[in-house]
């Protein structure tokens, strides 16, 4: 099952189920919106049991493609979670997941612009697999993790490296600017994937391939991440976990490459669709 939403950033959204023909069907008769206050295993079961073609075709013409779930209470991230990316960065493979946050103001639609302020000098990209949590999650085992996941999304973990690495080493500074977390185009439920740990992923800048990886090289897999995080905090319904990026980020290039006004970024993951963003001056 694939879920999407349409609507302006600050207005009401239309929640949709995408049918087998790729047509968005209006699911607002089932739930007002997909989000932290509505996501639950019961809702997911109800949506899954619904024949999308029994629902009206959604009126989406000319409407913005929003993130597939309403703004989460928390956006969590895992750093250096691909063995080949850690090598690219010249850093040791972590013994435990490296955790940090992005501000929720970063959350935006998959095709919304990347904002570049005049203070930015090292604007970078990161294609990532995102996890959406379905129910409160605290102190669970790895074996229980999948039961706490609503689905998966494509994420671009946009980063300002100068702020991240050169401003007292606080990663959150370089990760939290508005529109630094394009998410979508849809959320795909677990049953859409034969193996979530074997998905091809890629990212292009101005038509040039920059990242080309696979979730198979994740150091800590999806189930390990969810279980590990639940030891330290309670994950909430709708929470987004960005699970790390493969090699090919701008900071890892020789010479380094940074995003500038007018650049176009395209990215995708098998089974999770594609995004396209333009870098614009703030």
Confidence of residue 21 (pLDDT cuts 50, 70, 90): very high
Tell whether the model's pLDDT for residue 2 goes beyond 80.
yes
Q: 158 with 125: CB under 8 angstroms?
A: yes
Query: Closest by alpha carbon to 205, among 271, 127, 152?
Result: 127
Return the pLDDT at 121. Answer: 98
Q: In the predicted model, what is the mean pLDDT of residues 113-122? A: 98
Least confident of 85-99, 193-207, 223-237, 241-255: 85-99
Tell whether the model's pLDDT for residue 180 goes beyond 90.
yes
Return the pLDDT at 89. Answer: 77
Return the pLDDT at 90. Answer: 79
Q: Whole-model pTM above 0.95?
A: yes
* Phi then psi dihedrals of residue 78, to 5 deg: -115, 125
Return the CATH architecture of domain 75-281.
Alpha-Beta Complex (3.90)
Return the pLDDT at 61. Answer: 95
Q: In the predicted model, what is the mean pLDDT of residues 51-71? A: 97
**pLDDT tens digits for range 248-267:** 999 999 999 999 999 999 99
Q: In the predicted model, what is the mean pLDDT of residues 118-129? A: 98
Tell whether the model's pLDDT for residue 108 goes beyond 90.
yes
Query: Closest by alpha carbon to 277, among 62, 159, 72, 115?
Result: 115
Give 82's DSSP letter. Answer: B
In angstroms, rounded to a whole number, what is the distance separating the alpha carbons of residues 232 and 228?
8
Return the pLDDT at 124. Answer: 98
DSSP line for 118-156 = TT-S-EE--EEEEEEE-S-B-S--GGGGGGGEEEEEEEE
* Phi then psi dihedrals of residue 102, to 5 deg: -115, 145
**pLDDT tens digits for range 138-147:** 999 999 999 9
CB atoms within 10 A of CB 205: 21
Tell whether the model's pLDDT for residue 221 goes beyond 80.
yes
Tell whether the model's pLDDT for residue 92 goes beyond 90.
no
Return the pLDDT at 44. Answer: 97
Least confident of 72-81, 85-94, 207-216: 85-94
Domain ranges of the chain: 2-66, 75-281
Q: Cα 270 from chain centroid? A: 14
Return the pLDDT at 192. Answer: 98
267: part of which helix (H) or strand (E)?
strand 264-269
């Amino acid at each position: 099952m694939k879920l999407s939403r349409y609507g302006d950033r600050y207005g009401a959204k239309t929640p949709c189920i995408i049918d087998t023909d790729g047509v968005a069907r209006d699911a607002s008769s089932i739930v007002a919106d997909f989000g932290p206050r509505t996501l639950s295993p019961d809702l997911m079961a109800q949506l899954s049991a619904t024949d999308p073609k029994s629902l009206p075709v959604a009126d989406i013409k000319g409407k913005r493609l929003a993130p597939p779930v309403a703004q989460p209470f928390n956006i969590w991230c895992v750093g250096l979670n691909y063995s080949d990316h850690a090598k690219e960065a010249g850093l040791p493979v972590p013994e435990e997941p490296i955790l940090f946050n992005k501000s929720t103001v970063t959350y935006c639609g998959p095709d919304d612009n990347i904002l570049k302020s005049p203070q930015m000098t090292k604007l970078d990209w990161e294609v990532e697999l995102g996890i959406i949590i379905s129910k409160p999650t605290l102190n669970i085992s790895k074996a229980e993790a999948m039961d706490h996941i609503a689905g998966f999304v494509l994420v671009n973990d946009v980063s300002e490296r100068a702020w991240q690495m050169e401003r007292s080493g606080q990663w959150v500074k370089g990760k939290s600017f508005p529109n630094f977390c394009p998410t979508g185009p849809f959320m795909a439920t677990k049953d859409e994937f034969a193996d979530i740990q074997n998905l091809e992923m890629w990212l292009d800048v101005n038509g040039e391939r920059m990242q080309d990886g696979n979730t198979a090289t994740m150091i800590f897999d999806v189930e390990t991440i969810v279980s590990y995080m639940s030891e330290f905090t309670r994950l909430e319904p709708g929470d987004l976990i960005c699970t790390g990026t493969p090699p090919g980020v701008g900071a890892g290039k020789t010479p380094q490459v940074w995003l500038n006004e007018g650049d176009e970024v395209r990215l995708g993951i098998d089974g999770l669709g594609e995004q396209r963003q333009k870098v614009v001056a703030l």
